[in-house]
Structure 1
Amino acid sequence: MGVLQNLRLWENNVTQINEYGEKVTTKVPRRMPPNPWRILRLLSAKSYGYFFIGIAAWTADGYDFNSVNLVTTQLSAKYGASLPQITLSITLTLLFRPLGAMLLGMASDMWGRKWPLAINMWILAVLQIGTAYANTYAAFIGVRALFGIAMGGIWGLAAAMAMENMPTEARGLFSGILQQGYSIGYLLAAVVNITAVPNTSEGYKAIFHVGAGFSALVGLIQIFVPESNIFVDGGDEPRVSQAVRIRMFVKDLRLVCKQYWRMFLYCILLCTAFNWMSHGAQDMYSTYMKLGKGFNNTDASRATIVGQVGAVVGGTICGYYSQFLGRRLTVVLACCFGLAIIPLWSLPTAWGPLAAGNFFLQSAVNGAWGVMPVLLNEYAPPQFRGAFPGTVYQIGNMISAPAAEIQTHAATAWIKDGRPNYGQVMTITLCIVFGLVAVITACGQERLGSHFELVKRAGAEENIVREMAEMGMGKEDLGGAKHVEVVGDKV
């Protein structure tokens, strides 16, 4: 890894899995990706089905998480708790996500994407109802902690299902679109906050009712989507007992841990910086507009909607051009643009310029994020794309968990013109994290166009043999992998 792998404009120095399933490093000239409309035609109906369920699940996640962010003041009044106490629920949700990512990711790598994702969505629906009707502050905090475990499993499974079932040429564009599911969810939550929350007898609970119904619906639709292609047994794949499959899975996992531990740590660092960037710009934005700039709930939510529209636009554009610029250079350019926009985002006092600043700043934040689904799938051990991307992403979330709470404490302790100084605090945060994201990303590898879908599912014997060969181990060391039970007429 290193900056010198290059960020040059005329070519990419790429380490990838080629079309023969071999890991190679080669220079790849930059070529403009096909016209977006042509890319849309590359996908089959089945590929669109996988992508749809992936973005729908991630949209539900974005809605569910940001529901609390949009009604912090109402929750504070309900429980008689301070804003920092309410934002503790955001911190706890982020802290518990890695556990869900690891458990659900392992389950999906072992048994497939379909049922782990569907069951997880139904659990989320139940916990949304629990959030709405928690009678005490302690119960509310407990439900949100459990919510974090359930939410942790969404992103890794959604990204893996979407990315592994589409052509490599389309992954940049669809990665950018997929990641915007979070922003679309945030946007939908803001719309519900404007329309339903003030106009129903349920008040703030309405935002959680809608989220519960949305999550349950996604889980229901998942039943009708086929299992991901790599988990559909081919005619040449041996059928083995469950006990043997588990032993092979564990052996594969151990070998991958020996090979990828450095990449694992690097991706945690990368995801920590990325999550600080998004949480620093988004979690307290509604509160910043209300308490820092003096706008009412409706105007704050409208500015949030404008920002999330910008996020969708920026993420889609950057995802598309990452096929030309490479994943890393795209992120670096998005961060530079974000730094340039910060004054427009924080200095004005009128709603219009602030909303415009939020549009462009969120387009930069999510422009960088638009690369992340495909980038982490390219960095991951190819047979553990359910567990690896989701786990490093959510550990990064966990480390950045105090972002909202830190910003709230700092702003409330730094009064300016009689108001908490959210603008200054959030500006300082973003200046730091945009720089960190650019530097850390530049120090990674370029793996543009990697054919990770060609690698067999976790626990396949050919994976284990290949990994041992790469580590200089002989096939005689295969051990348990040779103890395959006979089922029917296959070994």
Structure 2
Amino acid sequence: MEKYIYATLASFSSWAGNIYDLLIVTYVYAYLSKYLGMDTVEGTLLFALGLIFRVIGGYVFGKYADSHGRKAVLALGTAGYSITQAVIAFSPSIALVLLFRSIQGLMMGAQWTAGTVIAYENAPLKLRGLINGIVQAGYGVGYAMTGAAYLLFSPHMGGMGWRFFLLTGSVPLVIIPLILAKVSDVKTFKNEKRPAINMKEYLGVLVRASLVISGMFFSYYSIFAIYPDFIENLGTPSSLVGEIMFVSNIALAISFVVFGRLADRIGKRKLIIGGVIGEMIGVPLMLPLLHVFQNYPSMVAGLIVYTVSTGFWPIAPLLVIESVPIEVRSALTGLSYNLGSVMGGVGSITMGTLVTIFGLNSASFWGNVLCYSALTVVLATLITWNRGANKVEVR
């Protein structure tokens, strides 16, 4: 089997597990509140910490990956977030949950930056967009699996059940042997003489890409940090919540692959702009402002439109990967992507605070306001890209 297939499979699987662990906590807020005394603010903080600490992990471990190779960082990150998930599952206090969630965020950042780059570098030149799309499809699969797991565990969440539900996030440990045995670095730089790289030369790329990624994250997480609770609050049975999240995220995973393949043939900026416009169409359907439109067919349709349009996500990191030298590729890609994830955490906290003040029923209004604001920034950045994104050309 070709080496790039192993790299793709390992990176896809570890990224799916990463997202599974990031998002599974959104299903157990009620149990964390009941058994550990967690309040709403701590709940949104719990979610946000997984995003915020990814910035540090992505940059620090990205620099190590640039100097010592991606493989070791991919293995460390995958093992790290899996083990801390087991600790989180059986932590006796919310303080410990928050502490280990922060450590988990560091490991998540390490995994993403190493996995994304090693798959890209191993891929044949003509398949790099497709391979990147497949790897990032792990996001949709990981999120979908949280819905599938919730369907399985929802009748048994009382007592210790919710803890065993969280423990399923340790399953990615089984990927470690594959990474160690079959995944190879294309190139490492240890003990090599390298030309000095002036990071300031790529500041324009970093800033613009970070704005695009920040906007997409802020929009997404301001919705999905509360969306399972929101639709359940409208009277949706918990089993149906799991089914809805599963189906929508399988659609998201497929969309990642499709957009990734299109990126090998069509200008990336055009694809991202099209995806953003699609998201803008989907938001008011999935978060209807008027009660008369709060029906399952239109809300599910809006959810599908939004998630399918979000398929442009894998293209955004390529704006950095394809624009900077290999010597700083992991560090800058991890930094821009995970700076964006911080804004996702800000979106999560913002939405959590607003619904705490105004009630969960207000999520439709605030979701539209927050999403349209963030997506407008993305569009403005893309339209003006070539004026400030030095060292890169976006077709």
TM-score, with length taken from structure 2:
0.91
How does 1:383-394 map onto structure 2 within 5 Å?
Answer: 383-394=327-338
Indicate yes or no: 2:319 matched with 1:382: no
In structure 2, give the amino acid aligned to 1:133.
F
Partners of 2:255 and 2:103 lie apart in 1 by: 32
3-state SS of paired residue (2:263): helix
Cα distance per residue 1:77-135 (max 9 Å; x no partner): 22222222211111222221111112211111111111221122212121001110110
Deviation track 1:151-201 (CA, whole Å, cap 9, x = no partner) reads 111211111011111122212222222212111101111111110343376
Give the AA of the match of 1:157. A
**How many angstroms apart in 2 are the aligned matches of 1:153 and 1:443?**
31
Task: Tell me the CA shift for residue 447 of structure 1.
Answer: 4.5
1:38-117 aligned within 5 A: 45-117=2-74
Aligned position for 2:232: 290
Q: Is the 8 A contact 2:139 2:253 kept in 1?
A: no
**Larger Cα Rg: Structure 1 or Structure 2?**
1
**Which residue of the other structure, out of 325, 337, 340, is the alignment partner of 2:278?**
337
Give the counterpart of 2:244 among 303, 310, 317: 303
Match of 1:372 among 284, 298, 316: 316
Answer yes or no: is the 8 Å Cα contact 1:268–1:392 preserved in 2.
Answer: yes
Any gaps of 5 or more consecutive residues in structure 1?
A: 1-43, 234-241, 450-491
User: What percentage of aligned pairs have identical amino acids?
Assistant: 19
Q: How does 1:112-191 map to 2 (within 5 A)?
A: 112-191=69-148
d(CA) in 1 for partners of 2:280 and 2:373? Answer: 9
Aligned to 1:413, the other structure's residue is in SS state helix
Spell out structure 1 runs of 4+ moving beyond 3 A: 199-202, 445-449
Give 1:137 deviation, angstroms. Answer: 1.3
SS at match of 2:385: coil
Q: How many equivalent residue pairs?
A: 385
> For the structure 1 residues 300 and 410, does the alpha-carbon distance in structure 2 shift closer, same or farther, using more than 3 Å as the test?
same
Deviation digits for residues 2-27 of structure 1, max 9, x if unmatched?
A: xxxxxxxxxxxxxxxxxxxxxxxxxx
The TM-score normalised by the length of structure 1 is 0.74
Aligned-pair CA distance for 1:306? 2.2
Equivalent residue, structure 1, for 2:207: 265
Return the letter of the residue paired with 2:156: N
Q: Displacement of 1:142 after TM fit?
A: 0.9
Please name the residue that 1:362 is paired with: 307
Q: Which moved more, 1:255-264 or 1:402-411?
A: 255-264
Q: How does 1:204-223 map to 2 (within 5 A)?
A: 204-214=162-172, 216-223=173-180
Distance 2:134 2:375 in 1: 21
Q: Deviations over 1:238-273 (max 9, x none)?
A: xxxx6x64xx46x63xx3313223322223222221
Contact 2:81 2:105 in 1 (8 A): no
Which has the larger helix fraction? 2
Contact 1:50 1:162 in 2 (8 A): yes
Deviations 1:207-254 (A, max 9, x none): 32211122x1122221112422223x9xxxxxxxx6x64xx46x63xx
* Equivalent residue, structure 1, for 2:222: 280
Aligned equivalents of 2:285 and 2:187: distance in 1?
Answer: 47
